[in-house]
């Protein structure tokens, strides 16, 4: 795994030891950024279920101003810190060890607002709709915010969740990517 493009291009990223995470492959990561970017002019990104932090780090490398990384696993948090250091992006990041829903509630209380969100949970997690609804209810998404959901291709989500409309759905074998964009101002 590596950073594909931007200021940290080519820097290697560590994987989380063990079988508990499923890092996004470079092929899928490149496809995601081709669909949503590929480059950014600022903004704040949330990498929920961060794992290695690869998606959020890629977004920082491609021009996002700041990233918030959340994962419940201690080893994942250690790897996110190591990968941020390797990419020389630590000063642009906040990293939290927390359950996804609890983290959203805490971030909502801080009135955090995001331009880009990555939801890449373990495939057994099916609370994607609840997580998106929570972000919408807590006004955590900027107008026209983009939500990228990486999920098992067997899971099918609605074309619209609240005021987030699916604008793209692509499958890569067992992996699917659904991209939603907030439509309300």
Instruction: For 84-142, write each residue's pLDDT tens digit.
Output: 999 999 999 999 999 999 999 999 999 999 999 999 888 777 789 999 999 999 999 99
Burial class (CB in 10 A: 0-12, 13-18, 19+), 57: buried
Length of the chain: 185
* Topology at the third CATH level for domain 26-182: Rossmann fold (3.40.50)
pLDDT in tens, 132-167: 999 999 999 999 999 999 998 888 899 999 999 999
Which pTM value belongs to this model? 0.94
All structural domains of the chain with their residue ranges: 26-182
Beta carbons of 31 and 177 less than 8 angstroms apart: yes
The vertex-126 CA angle with 178 and 159, nearest 5°, equals 35
pLDDT in tens, 7-50: 999 899 998 887 556 667 778 888 899 999 889 999 999 999 99
Helices (H) and strands (E) in the chain, counts: 5, 8
- Tell me the pairing of strands 93-97 and 66-71: parallel
């Amino acid at each position: 795994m590596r950073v594909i493009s931007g200021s940290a291009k080519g820097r290697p990223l560590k994987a989380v030891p063990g079988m508990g995470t499923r890092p996004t492959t470079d092929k899928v990561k490149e496809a995601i950024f081709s669909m949503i970017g590929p480059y950014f002019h600022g903004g704040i990104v949330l990498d929920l279920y961060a794992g290695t932090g690869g998606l959020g780090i890629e977004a920082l490398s491609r021009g996002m101003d700041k990233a918030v990384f959340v994962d419940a696993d201690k080893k994942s948090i250690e790897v996110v810190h190591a990968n941020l250091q390797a990419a020389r992006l630590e000063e642009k990041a906040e990293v939290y060890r927390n359950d996804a829903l609890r983290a959203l509630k805490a971030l909502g209380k801080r009135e955090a607002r995001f331009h880009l969100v990555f939801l890449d949970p373990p495939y057994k997690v099916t609370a994607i709709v609840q997580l998106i609804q929570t972000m919408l209810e807590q006004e955590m998404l900027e107008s026209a915010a983009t939500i990228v959901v990486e999920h098992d291709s067997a899971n099918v989500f609605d074309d619209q969740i609240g005021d987030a409309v699916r604008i793209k759905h692509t499958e890569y074998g067992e992996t699917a990517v659904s991209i939603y964009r907030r439509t309300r101002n």
